[in-house]
Amino acid sequence: MAEISSAKKTAGTALVAVPSAKARKASASSAAPTEETLVAAAFSFHPLRNNDIYKKMETMMTQSKTQYDKFANDAASASKESVEAFLKFTNIWMKGSEDIVKTYMNLAQESAAKNTEAFKTLLACKNLNELTEVQNKLAQETFDGILANATKLSELTVKVTTDALEPINDQVSKSIRKATESVAA
């Protein structure tokens, strides 16, 4: 029987029996193929050993990795931008809330001062008719003051909310634009 040496094929990882040079010479001189050459031929045929398939697989895997890297970078960038937008929102909201509280406190102080003056005016009334007239006048002034102050606080609150939400709105718009562009691409 011919000598068989073991060798590792370069295209695969399995060890296969390959006839030695002496056995190949002997088989080349005989007309019928030997058992060793048939086994070697059977092991050397493999449909996945086609280099084109490997190249296609490598291309697909490289593209997938590139797409994943792009997705990961985009996600990290979007997260960073979202955090920055939230921080801007928080800073604007806190400053605006401080302004609202200061305005409210100023209005409360003004109201307390007006109420003190109104009480003094009511105590200075000499008769019931004068008291009724002063009370009606003070009630109208108080009602007008409440409406003016409520309008002032409402406008300030709307302004603070609008200004604070602007960075969030910009970030959402930017994210929607990026998503639309990536879907279109």
- What are residue 170's phi and psi, to 5 degrees? -60, -45
Q: How far apart are CA 97 and CA 99, in angstroms?
A: 5
What integer best gives the mean pLDDT of the chain?
Answer: 80
Report the pLDDT value the prediction gives residue 11, as an integer from 0 to 100. 47
Helix (H, G, I), strand (E, B) or coil at 145: helix
Q: Where are the domains positioned within the chain?
A: 4-49, 78-184
pTM over 0.75: no
Report yes or no: 138 and 122 within 8 Å, Cβ to Cβ: yes
Question: What pLDDT, in 10s, does the model give residues 33-76?
Answer: 666 665 655 555 555 555 677 777 778 888 877 888 888 888 88
Residue labelled with tokens 């059977």:
42
State which amino acid sits at residue 161.
T
Question: What pLDDT, in 10s, does the model give residues 80-101?
Answer: 888 999 999 999 999 999 999 9
Question: What pLDDT, in 10s, does the model give residues 164-175?
Answer: 999 999 998 988
Residue percentage of the chain with pLDDT more than 70: 72
Q: How far apart are CA 94 and CA 158, in angstroms?
A: 14
Which is nearest to 100 in space by CA: 169, 161, 166, 167?
161
